[in-house]
Amino acid sequence: MEKRESYGKKHRKIGSWAGLAIISVFFLLPSGCNHTAKQKSAQKPTYSIETAKEISHITSGIISSSEPIRIRFVHPIVDENQVNSPLKLPVFHFSPEISGHAVWQDEQTLAFVSDHPLSLGQSYTGKLDVAALLPSQKESALKEIDLAFQVAKRELVRLDGSFTAAQTGKASEAAFEGTIDFTEPCTIDMVKKSISLDLDGRDIRAVWMMREDQKRFTFTIPSISREKSTRTLVVRINSEPLGLSTGMERKFLLEPVKVFKVSRFETFQNGDRGFAIIFSDRLDMKQDINGFISVEPAVQFTMKKSASKILVTGSFKPGEGYAITAHKGISNIWGARLKEAAVHSVTFQNLNPSIQFVKDGIFLPSSNKQNVRFTAVNVRKVKITVQQVFSSTLGQYLQVAETNAQKTRSDNFNESDRVGVKVAEQTLTLSGKLNDKEQYAIDMSKLIRKGTLGMFLVSLSFQREDMIPETKAASYGNYTDWYNDPKAPGYMWRHARIYKPVLVTDIGLTHYGTGKHHVVIATDLLSAGPISGVTVELRSYQDQIIQTAVTNRRGKAEFTNVNRDVYYVRGKYRDNTTFLLNSAMAWNVSSFDVGGSEVNKENLRAFVFTDRGVYRPGDEVHLSLIVRNEEGTFPENHPVTLTLTNPKQQVALKSTLRKGKDGFYVFRFTTAENDPTGVWQAKITA
């Protein structure tokens, strides 16, 4: 399929770019993650080779209720001026029916956006009528595309809360602050209908707030009088209005002012291992608590006061039990003291079963004996799968795949079955003992043919029966954390599988680019010396060769008059192939002074800056620029256009300002909650 050419007024381009980094704090549950033991993933259709040649991504598996249904073509289909314009012709058909509209999100990605959140837990099938979408492509063998996906169910992630000081500051009053998290969005009215609060058997009102993603809700009871006897606040969640698997109830106790005691003990072992002693009221922060806490058997530990807690961390061993004593004499802010010692036995749970690679990184030179190392704790065996990406489909893989090679990566490889083939699969029995973290090596030379170079996708995984001790999945609600409790359904997705892309090569590339001039340096990873004779290709996002050059005796290849954006660089030398993906492998220069200016042939210069360098999806961005011509001035109210590109090389925004004074312009725009994270690029045209 060919992209139709479009023509328009030419603009002079300012030689200045601004990078925006958007970091996600809140995450959707990824597709493919089962939310309950009963929820089954929608069966993915089988696609023909004709479809694979034209399509690089189709929405499938389990998706969020607010997620668009997307189909991404391998090549550009529409002109830039058709992006973000809804289609008038109905080309999507679903069963059950979904009301909504189709829109081109970029020149290659067609999305169907529902008018309302999709029905939770519902399985959908559908078709995209390609013949109706592209009537001019009559010769294409691709006439329609089958769709199948399922919407995730809503589940409760967390219900927590605590009593705090009232705004009056009086000892006779307290406030309560609670937090409720769900896996899927819901309205605040739905939450209010589902949750009841009663204090000593009587209903009590709260002030509710909802986070923008509609998954986290906080509630506050601003004033609760403290009586002469203990008061009980009960928080109940009714499952039906929210479509939850089951309801939940939690009780919180408010003690009288003159009563000060230990409410409970809680262990923790995320990072530091220790326990928290939670008291019935806030502690006297001025009191020296040394000697008031003892542990048997004796270990070295440190203490920290925090509101109504004493946090104790130390060299506690997993699987071991300890006797904790909070001695009498500890006081709260109102002067009441602990009248008798509180003794409690705690046992630190065994380390959670987990696996992770020893190092970040993607390159594996032959000098490393082709060993990929990983560590495991409380796992009996792992399944190793290796896929090889074809050299001819490397560009397609880089279009849709994450090249993230972090040690704990749990996101799978997108479209790996379409661009590669499985070359090895085996089960490795581990020798680890309970709570011992041991290191193992995967000998790639035994899994791939000798001398084979290129890109490989390595995945490790284990099942519940491989855990030490074996841990069965708990029913809904009988676990403490959806992702981090080994009994929870979400634990297997987050911790029981890891992925690493591995490039077996002895060639390293360094790419410098400024304006239309680019330089690539090829280095031998074994000797650290330059390599001459490497064929270097600058390639576009569509995997088209922009320019080709061969490195000289200093390992240097230069490119001039590069008029297109370089998505990645590929190097070939004898049987070696390597690549450099600009969007994912750029140097972090945030700690270095790399300031300077770039002047284009029109002698236009621009200073571009934002109100801050890091944003979250949903944040408002203020992007300002000062433009100057060769005379140091700039025409008043001259039109300036901003083109904002997301990490997927999709145009997310195109806006033109026609009001500017002395070359000063300010663009204001708000990112969406579901925007992709990574480095965004702003291109200014004047």
Q: What pLDDT is attached to residue 246?
A: 82
Q: Are 359 and 332 in contact (CB under 8 A)?
A: no
pTM (predicted TM-score): 0.53
Closest listed residue to residue 134, CA positions, set 95, 83, 89, 85:
89
CA distance 124 to 149: 5
CA distance 5 to 19: 29
Q: What pLDDT is attached to residue 10?
A: 32
Q: What pLDDT is attached to residue 368?
A: 59
Q: What pLDDT is attached to residue 340?
A: 92
Q: State the DSSP code for 398.
A: H
Distance spanning both ends of the chain, measured CA to CA:
32
Closest listed residue to residue 150, CA positions, set 58, 63, 70:
63
Residues 6+ apart with CB under 8 A from 172: 225, 226, 257
Q: What pLDDT is attached to residue 277?
A: 94
Q: Are 518 and 559 in contact (CB under 8 A)?
A: yes
Query: What digits encode the pLDDT tens for the residues 542-569?
Result: 788 999 999 999 999 999 999 888 888 9
Q: What pLDDT is attached to residue 44?
A: 59
CA distance 549 to 533: 9
Closest listed residue to residue 31, CA positions, set 402, 479, 411, 419:
411
CA distance 278 to 332: 12
- What is the SS3 assignment for 46-109? CCCHHHHHHEEEECEEEECCCCCEEEEECCCCCCHHHCCCECCCCCEEEECCCCEEEEECCCCE
Q: Are 149 and 62 in contact (CB under 8 A)?
A: yes
Q: What pLDDT is attached to residue 472?
A: 84
- What is the SS3 assignment for 180-246? EEECCCCCHHHHHHHEEEEECCEECCCEEEECCCCCEEEEEEEEEECCCCCEEEEEEECHHHHCCCC
CA distance 396 to 72: 12
Residues 6+ apart with CB under 8 A from 582: 511, 513, 566, 567, 568, 569
Q: State the DSSP code for 397.
A: H
Residues 6+ apart with CB under 8 A from 679: 19, 20, 21, 583, 586, 647
- What is the SS3 assignment for 649-674? CCEEEEEEECCCECCEEEEEEECCCC
CA distance 379 to 278: 34
Query: What digits encode the pLDDT tens for the residues 322-338?
Result: 999 999 999 999 899 99
**Residue 14: what residue type?**
I
CA distance 70 to 103: 10
Coil/strand/helix, residue 526: coil
What is the strand order of the sheet 614-615 is part of? 614-615, 13-22, 678-685, 640-645, 651-657
Q: Are 644 and 684 in contact (CB under 8 A)?
A: no
Q: Are 569 and 537 in contact (CB under 8 A)?
A: yes
Pairing verdict, β 497-504 and 363-364: parallel
CA distance 681 to 163: 45
Domains, the chain, ranges and CATH? Answer: 13-22+596-685 (2.60.40.1930), 49-151 (2.60.40.3710), 156-254 (2.60.40.10), 270-347 (2.60.40.1220), 354-504 (no CATH)
Query: What digits encode the pLDDT tens for the residues 233-273?
Result: 999 999 888 888 788 899 999 999 889 999 889 888 776 88
Closest listed residue to residue 66, CA positions, set 185, 148, 147:
185
| Regions of the chain where pLDDT drops below 50 | 1-41, 590
